[in-house]
Structure 1
């Protein structure tokens, strides 16, 4: 009897083990899937107006690891059709990646720089994905897909005012630069004299230029001029005044709005309180925002000092009481956003339990829009370089990590080789690109090699967006432009929102 019981138990054990092994096999086996590669569109026509929209998505299945349980890594190649991938762009994507995407502008630039495709040109392409199983490298799996792409000619990244109405007259060498706010979009605020003006794209060169389209009548429309034989119609200023001039080269439109409200209300702005300065009540400067006029920033670890009081001011003189900003109530919590200039000497107040950690402050000083936003700041655990200038290109999943400083959780560094091209910094590697970012303070900015502003943006932070009444923070996509390949050291302070990109 004992013998039979023993045999039954063994059978049950072996059967259970077989089920367990089968389950393990199914977990690690990729289902003997055939590797396939698909594209979101077979025919893609790029348009710079859609430069931030996703244009190309290549997706592939896992392929098979032949039941081995070994990891599968992937290599993507893209080449002109008919070349048998002889001069292909190739990127190793590692494991766990099943998609490769490019936005419109990225794809347009990628095809030009990586495959030599001209602008405003149609090209037939082939993409190939290769799956390699670790330890079974001889069993490569491949899949291909074909597609056609039509590129566009990018508009100029620079634009200048020139003419007798412009500040520097007809000097092409000294033409007045406009600020680029987005692809094809420029703005300038300043005094225009009576007279005429137009726009040039390159300092020292009168052509090409953007002139008034005479056929548009009273409507302020632009026409692109590349030859001295073409009509040279300028815009006319009939009244000397301060104007906001906005140009959209993609729509070929121009607006000119007379204004009196120009410049920053305060050139300097300070926080002062029991915890500021070496011994308390020292004036600590806030920094100007890069894109929102009259918005100032402050970031610091707030120590506890008796009372925890603080307020804001545009001067460093306690005698000028009418220059101090106060909360609308005494002993207001730091979360109170309402402010008043002058009047009763109310102060914000930090509790001892609220101190000893980092905070970020934004103060909007625009007249009639004054408000203060102060929030605790938890540093991001990782910061990641993305862009064609970085080692892993525009792959958000495989973005290049920076290293956290051993001395501060707010400071990250990276040393390595950057290519020519663009880059920005992701705070969270959010796959839909709608996460949090540290960007250049201007689009296409070349690093200075010095400590400069790193503009923090969040696509989903409603409180932050409300501090930018004149700026669509969610649409900003400012990138640094690395103009010379080589070895660089990048240091970023996410609390102070500063960065240095230094060529070694």
Structure 2
């Protein structure tokens, strides 16, 4: 900065007069401002970095993930007149893209080299297609901490990079089911393919029919190849562990005649586990049952045994309505005295007892009918329970009934239970019409949770099911209304024949 010149700030011809201070300050300010502007140093780039790479083509593999892959070196940038420091950034983009979609990685300041392992370089180029040689371009961008100059670029370095997938591929990309339980049998050249999951390539599924027979899972269409098999031969279908290998022991899964049907099989190569799940509705253990005993119309004759009827909505529910005389009975599963029978858990129990057991031989418990009449018998194989109701009564068992549950207007409150209306022509019939929302309900005989309830014979049946039972305690079966079935209904209960009609209005 120039030396300050005070000439001209005194009054002309007045050597002994002191200068005016306001005038002096103004002069100093003007001189300082002029001098600084004139002498200020403008920052400028005097050298840009020169970037070099240790290789111009790199093939990355998972097996060499920890090994060195690429080293970048560059000369130092120089900015004359800068008051701060420089920071280096690496940019890369697909060749020919002019860095329009460049990825930018901070390298740091006061550093002139960067080394990458194969894994680190693979992570940097993770967006590139795997196992494909891709041409990219790299450059350095240098920025100053004081912002004295705009960021500036180095030369461009070309690189061809081949990356690998971060996800370890499964050991097999195709699998097949083979065996006489499968649609294609033992024809290995035409084996039934499993489907590889689109989101997880380690999951393979098969959905379809399996018949009685065996199967295993082939990794190649060759009986000399490796197979996924159970750890033991013919395990329970609930066993999940699998092993993969060739040769012996040649373990297989087995589908019995009773198990034949539709299945979904899921093989998980992450965990070497399998799920074998039937997609068919549960099958009742028996498709036909008979009443047998001197209380029944056919007596003890197997040829004249009285058949029960399978419920149209639930194959586990069997019913019969008809005359029973004084005597005993049990329920046959076959026309064979040596076959298992459904019987009470104690001999000659009270008619209100509901427990049932299935057994052959002794103890040969039976139900005892003490009063000849017309009865309705309902056997529930889901819960091993029975209902035996005398339908020839002149006086209804209850003079008031209520619907209760979160599907009903009063919810589960005993104080707010919704009353049903007794029929003017039949005291055994009660009905109610109104809205049901999503939830459950049953029919109360008293405002007491310990009392008996009219309930479905199975929990959550179709609303079209008509059979009901009268019981206290468990099983606490209920009807259910879903969000899609909610609406106005008319419910009609007949206490005499233990039937219900639930009809949407």
TM-score band by shorter chain is 0.3 to 0.5
Higher relative contact order (CA 8 A, sep 6+): 1
Q: Over alpha carbons, which structure has the higher Rg?
A: 2
When the two structures are superposed, what TM-score results if normalisation uses the length of structure 2? Answer: 0.34
Higher helix share: 1
Q: TM-score with structure 1 length normalisation? A: 0.34
